[in-house]
A and B are shown apart, each in its own frame.
Chain A
Amino acid sequence: MRRLGRYAGSLVVLVAAGLPVAWILSLSLKSPATVTDKRLWPSDPTLENYRSIFGSALFTRALVNSVGIGLLSTALAVALATPAAYALTRLSFRGKALVLPLTLAVAVFPPVAIVGPLFDLWRTLRLYDTWPGLVIPYLSFALPLAMWTLTAFFRGLPWELEQAAQADGATPLQAFRRVVVPLARPGVLTAAILVFFFAWNDFVFAISLTSSDRSRTVPAALAFFPGDERIRQPVGSIAAAAVVVTVPVLVAVLVFQRRLVAGLTAGVVKG
């Protein structure tokens, strides 16, 4: 009986979480003729929508922009946050107590609050509708996220190993390279994935600070699909594009599942 309950519980979660994803997948496989057939499963699946979006620069350029801007933001955020998180965990210095609260304050503000000032700055610096014009604001949420994930992760590491290495005669730098770096790698990877998810997801900055294929990312491009005549059939095309941009998320979730859960919940678990 209890066993049955466990299966039923799992089933409910799987269906609730998966149904909307299955629905968008199903829509993406319907042709213009069957898209309004109101069926959950496509009766006559076709890849037409995928061909249409991959034939449209609106989507392919957006995909390139999304990947490029996401990777750049992630790399910058992790590169800046890792040394800081290391210092916060391992070293003591004046002003240290202020750093994490500052990070926290930055993480709280609504993104739309800085859209106006950024637009005004970007138009004078000629950063409007460019890659850096998005990467920079992305740091405003990517950096706090990376710093907190990494600080939480570093606090849980067995630092005794570093000390042991130094006791064995290694210089601090050697100890750092041989012991700390390998230990830290999984944490950095987790932080990077979480940061990438956020950059990949952003919509507010993407529609406010871009105006063309030059730097428009996929979420913003999706908002322009309806009525775009290059997109023959908006519903199917949006659905197909949605599926395409969900694939990397799915892969990351499948491959790094345990690490992501740990990274998300680091602060609580380690309590």
Chain B
Amino acid sequence: MSQQTERGATVWVAPPRRPGPRRKRRSQAGHRTAWLLTAPAVLTMLAVAAYPVGYALWLSLHRYDLRFPDQRGFVGLGNYAAVLTAPVFWTDLAATAVITAVAVTAEMVLGFVIALTLRRGLAGRRAVHTALLLPYGIITVVAAFAWQYAATPDLSFFSDRAWLGQRWSSFAVVIATEVWKTTPFVALLLLAGLAALPEELLDTAQLDGASGWQRFTRVLLPGIRPVLLVVLLYRTLDSIRVFDTVFIQTRGANGTETLSLLAYDQLASRLNLGLGSAVSVLLFALSAAVALSFVWFFRADLRELSRGGR
């Protein structure tokens, strides 16, 4: 989803460390200044994110339903047991996985194609860039409505089908919206990655008489691999929390309910903060697990990236 979508576009791309400005000011006073400058931001982040996450953990271990205030109490892992034994949790996990797998794959492929095309130069570069930034900047809820109306038989300019009336076509609409909204972002990042590749690399390959395909698989792909991985991870984490599009287009009907929606329903409409927090914590753990395993598997690539290149 894109609500939090491109949140921290640069987040995953560690800025390179330059040796130059590092050595300065190691005095005590410098220390204090540095902390004075950094502390407000760090403390705010801890207060607005870490504290609520800790609180969510606490809530998830309690029966805490605002509609039954008298029944409040510690239940240990009871909420987790209720969540993990409910078929709906697994259905929603599957729906989330389907949306993530298909949408992210499509975004990566399309984004890469667009980036390659852009690199070779397109007519009206400025217009193209504007066109790419528009889906990125547009409100996700707006994008969701636009695609929903295009998929509604009484309104649509191209289709008589009730796309949102069946399961798989509902998925198609949700995924198409996600892909439309986020592919430009993927393309721009990959384009930046391509631009950072040294020209000589390709030139040499060309002199060696490598075919286009070989140049792609042997030179281009390995060269851009670290950036590709970072974008992939970023989009995967983003897609795991997909909410806006599904909420607007189907409200979870026809088997399209995602984990974020499930958590929202327990929290916001049932006011069962204990149960809802258990879902939230599991969703959080899932994101963390994906992130950590990614970092572990591709540690070499990521190290290369954070070293700032070749």
Using a CB–CB cutoff of 8 Å, the interface residues on chain A facing chain B are 3, 6-7, 9-10, 13-14, 16-18, 20-21, 23-24, 26-27, 35-36, 38-40, 80-81, 83-84, 86-96, 99-100, 102-104, 106-121, 136-137, 139-141, 143-145, 147-149, 151-152, 155, 159, 194, 197-198, 200-204, 207-208, 218-219, 222-223, 235, 238-239, 242, 245-246, 249-250, 252-254, 257-258, 260-261, 263-271
Contact = CB atoms under 8 A, between A and B. Distances in A.
Interface string B9-25: 11111111110111111
Contacts of B241: 110-112
Contacts of B2: 201
Contact of A219 (B31, B158, B244): B244
Given A10-B124, A242-B145, A115 B267 contact: yes
B187 to A, nearest CB: 9
Closest 5 pairs (CB-CB, A-B): A267-B13, A265-B192, A110-B241, A117-B55, A84-B41
Contacts of A264: 6, 9-10, 136, 185, 188-189
Nearest to A266: B10
Given A242-B142, A249-B138, A120 B273 contact: yes
B132 interface: yes
A24 B21 contact: no
B135 A9 contact: no
A38 B152 CA distance: 10
Interface of B is mostly: helix
Given A80-B40, A84-B42, A107-B8, A271 B309 contact: yes
B219 interface: no
Contacts of A270: 15-16, 308
Contacts of B185: 264
Contacts of A87: 33-35, 37-38
B49 A114 contact: yes
A149 B7 CA distance: 11
Given A113-B281, A203-B141, A140 B48 contact: yes
A109 B59 contact: no
B41 A112 contact: no
A117 B59 CA distance: 8
Contacts of B139: 200-201, 218-219, 242, 245-246, 249
Interface stretch (B87-95, B101-109, B206-214, B283-291): B283-291
